[in-house]
Amino acid sequence: MTVNVAVVGASGYTGAELFRLLANHPKVNLVGAYGMKNTGKKVSEIHPSLQGIVDLRIEDSDCKKIRQVAEVVFTATPHGVAMKLVPELLRGNIKVIDLSADYRFDDVKIFEKYYVKHESPELKGVYGLPELYRKKIKSAELVANPGCFPTAALLSLAPLVKKKLIDLEHIIIDAKTGTSGAGATPTESTHHPLVGANVTAYKATTHRHTPEINQELSKLAGTTVRAYFTPHLLPIVRGILSTAHVFLKKSMPKPELLEIYREFYRGELFVRVREELPQVNYVVGSNYCDIGVETETDGNRAVIVAVIDNLVKGASGQAVQNMNIMLGFEETEGLRGSALRP
């Protein structure tokens, strides 16, 4: 038994990654590729690694056509686009996983402050972080796939915030990302001569993943949490390493802290709690989020490091994981590849 799946946003990197993953998913029948750019071309003309694997032609994002062929749709579109398509897709009884920010926010005003005016604010998506919301995802029609930085930051902080073990006023998240997170459009900030041997902090106090992180941390804590988030751009293509610096309310040695994480994530298939701090190349190419901790010798500060592949667990892999949950497939179906290391 297979399901008919379409991807809207065929030219972007999360689109490409969806194709890579879905092409090897034994229960998926890839029926359509849609977008506003490159219509008429084959997916494999835009993403040459997919030659002979995904040779579908890219079509205009016409919801009527999509509804005729697809049972599940991934919208891997720029922010502000899915909000125009999703209402009509849902009316066709289609399950939608949106990879943009359009349906991630409980409070549409926050979305509108950081992104654009919302055109379907009445619709609510389930926040697609399976480790926190698996039950809701199971019955969702519309899943809002989390941002890449929030995925890493939330998984690294959830146990401590949920269990109220840390000072909530001094949470620092210092994240490091590869350049693929910037998307497929060339700009000066991804121009190799300037980025290839460089490191940059950007939007150091204003990144729009901050409110997304704070929304979810606040729900975990049951009170308003304001974490401080600063991303950095590195000369690697894939991968996020998110370093959370936190102050423990009660000092704790590393083994005790680690046990809290092990307990919290017991049974989780894509979270690996590790004895030592994980590195980006433990996960790049896979859907894993690896987490490790260190504490000061006197136990008052802890450093929590989480690593993900920004295009897999940080985007398209997690989207497929959400699809698997929504359709009752095995959660790891199509996602069992391990990282390329070296």
Token look-up 């090897």 returns: 24
Q: Check residue 176 for interaction with its own copies (CB under 8 A).
A: yes
Cα–Cα distances (Å) from 37 to 9, 23, 61, 80, in that order, read 8, 21, 10, 16
Q: How far is the CB of 35 from its own copies (least distance, A)?
A: 17
The contacts of residue 115 (CB under 8 Å, 6+ apart) are 79, 80, 101, 102, 208
**For residues 55 and 259, which CB has a smaller minimum distance to its own copies in the complex?**
55
**For residues 41 and 245, which CB has a smaller minimum distance to its own copies in the complex?**
245
**For residues 69 and 237, which CB has a smaller minimum distance to its own copies in the complex?**
237
Q: How far is the CB of 98 from its own copies (least distance, A)?
A: 22
Q: Check residue 49 for interaction with its own copies (CB under 8 A).
A: yes
**For residues 48 and 328, which CB has a smaller minimum distance to its own copies in the complex?**
48
Among the listed residues 284, 275, 277, 271, the one whose alpha carbon sits nearest the alpha carbon of residue 234: 284
Which tokens go with 268? 């989780």
Q: What does residue 194 show for φ and ψ, rounded to 5 degrees?
A: -95, -20
Q: Check residue 53 for interaction with its own copies (CB under 8 A).
A: yes
**For residues 52 and 328, which CB has a smaller minimum distance to its own copies in the complex?**
52
| Cis status, amide bond into 342, omega within 30 of 0 | yes
Candidate residues 4, 38, 120, 190; the one interacting with its own copies per rule CB under 8 A: 190
Token look-up 């969806």 returns: 18
Bridge partners of 3? Answer: 28
The contacts of residue 150 (CB under 8 Å, 6+ apart) are 129, 209, 212, 213, 216
Q: How far is the CB of 246 from its own copies (least distance, A)?
A: 10
Binding mask 255-294 for its own copies (x = CB under 8 A): -----------------x-x--xxxxxxxxxx---x---x
**For residues 69 and 340, which CB has a smaller minimum distance to its own copies in the complex?**
340
Site for its own copies in 301-320 (CB under 8 A): 301, 303, 305, 307, 311
Bridge partners of 241? Answer: 176, 307
> Environment class of residue 139 by beta-carbon count within 10 Å: exposed (0-12), middle (13-18) or buried (19+)?
exposed
Q: How many CB atoms are located within 10 Å of the residue 111 CB? A: 25
Show which residues are catalytic. 148
* Helix axes of 254-264 and 148-162: crossing angle, nearest 10 degrees: 110
Q: How far is the CB of 159 from its own copies (least distance, A)?
A: 18
Q: Check residue 118 for interaction with its own copies (CB under 8 A).
A: no
User: How far, rounded to the nearest angstrom, does the alpha carbon of residue 264 sit from its chain's CA centroid?
Assistant: 20
Binding mask 14-33 for its own copies (x = CB under 8 A): --x---x--xx---------
Part in contact with its own copies (CB under 8 A); list of ranges 3-11, 27-35, 41-49, 73-81: 41-49
Site for its own copies in 57-116 (CB under 8 A): none
Q: How far is the CB of 208 from its own copies (least distance, A)?
A: 13
Q: How far is the CB of 175 from its own copies (least distance, A)?
A: 10
Q: Check residue 38 for interaction with its own copies (CB under 8 A).
A: no
Q: How far is the CB of 69 from its own copies (least distance, A)?
A: 23
Q: How many residues make contact with its own copies (CB under 8 A)?
A: 82
Binding mask 214-253 for its own copies (x = CB under 8 A): --------------x-x-x-xxxxxx-x-x-x-x------
Among the listed residues 120, 118, 171, 125, the one whose alpha carbon sits nearest the alpha carbon of residue 146: 125
Q: Do 106 and 218 touch, CB atoms closer than 8 A?
A: no
